[in-house]
């Protein structure tokens, strides 16, 4: 599912910025999902590159639900399914030009990406890939939100590089609950008591 989310974002950016990420672009910028450092990206000859690094995955407690979905079946039973788990997937988005000191290309590309992502508070169904087409689509998108790291400076130090301009992009996806659906019989009659006598309404 996480790989499908990566491919969905790649499809969205290619559709929104074909002159930047399209295969026929003369100045094509690669889209990578590896560790955000120059060695990891450059080892595959990916410059210039836009890097989307999935750095945080956690359940969204605010959207947790205990309401099960009940569906009536033709055979006189009902299927009771647990609600999906809402999961926040956060990306750090950075640009890696051919020349690491070319801040003009870096900022121009990052600005174009920011504008493209801001157009969609919810991902369009036309770009959804793999399992995201089968389950509920990402329900919420947050861009320019707070980075879920204690220290961004320490993060870049751990990556062995200098701090870079960064976009924080978080999508909330629906993950099927591990609990199996339950099949239950439907109530087809009821019994009431009137004046001490039993009456059936079935």
pTM: 0.80
Average pLDDT over the chain reads: 84
Whether pLDDT at 82 is above 90? no
Report the half-sphere exposure of 40 (CA within 13 A, side-chain side): 13
pLDDT band at 26; cut points 50, 70, 90: low
In the chain, the domains with their CATH numbers are 2-71+78-175 (3.30.2000)
pLDDT tens by residue, 41-79: 988 778 999 999 999 999 988 877 777 666 677 776 777
Please tell me which residue, 147 or 24, carries the higher pLDDT value: 147
Whether pLDDT at 192 is above 60? no
Q: What is the dihedral angle through the alpha carbons of 29, 33, 39, 42, rounded to the nearest 10 degrees?
A: -30
Q: Residue for token digits 């870079």? A: 164
For 152-183, give one letter per residue: b (16+ CB within 10 A) or e: eeebbeebebeebebbbbbbbbbebeeeeeee
- What is the rounded distance in angstroms from the CA atom of residue 2 to the CA atom of residue 56? 12
Please tell me which residue, 196 or 41, carries the higher pLDDT value: 41
- What is the rounded distance in angstroms from the CA atom of residue 79 to the CA atom of residue 104? 57
Query: What is the structure's pLDDT at 28?
Result: 86
Query: What is the structure's pLDDT at 64?
Result: 74
Query: What is the structure's pLDDT at 83?
Result: 75
């Amino acid at each position: 599912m996480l790989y499908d989310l990566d491919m969905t974002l790649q499809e969205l950016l290619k559709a929104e910025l074909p002159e930047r990420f399209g295969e026929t672009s003369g100045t094509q910028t690669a889209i990578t999902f590896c560790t955000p450092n120059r060695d990891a990206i450059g080892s595959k000859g990916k410059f210039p590159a836009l890097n989307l690094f999935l750095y945080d995955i956690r359940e969204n407690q605010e959207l947790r639900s205990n309401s099960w979905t009940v569906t009536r079946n033709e055979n006189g039973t009902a299927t009771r399914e647990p609600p999906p788990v809402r999961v926040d997937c956060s990306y750090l988005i950075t640009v890696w030009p051919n020349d690491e000191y070319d801040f003009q290309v870096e900022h121009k590309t990052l600005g174009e990406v920011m504008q493209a992502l801001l157009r969609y508070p919810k991902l369009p169904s036309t770009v959804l890939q793999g399992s995201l087409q089968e389950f509920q689509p990402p329900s919420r998108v947050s861009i320019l939100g707070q980075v879920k790291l204690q220290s961004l400076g320490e993060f870049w130090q751990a990556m062995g590089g200098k701090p870079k301009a960064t976009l924080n992009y978080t999508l909330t996806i629906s993950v099927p609950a591990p609990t199996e659906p339950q099949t239950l019989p439907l109530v087809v009659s009821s019994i009431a008591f009137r004046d001490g006598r039993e009456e059936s309404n079935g």
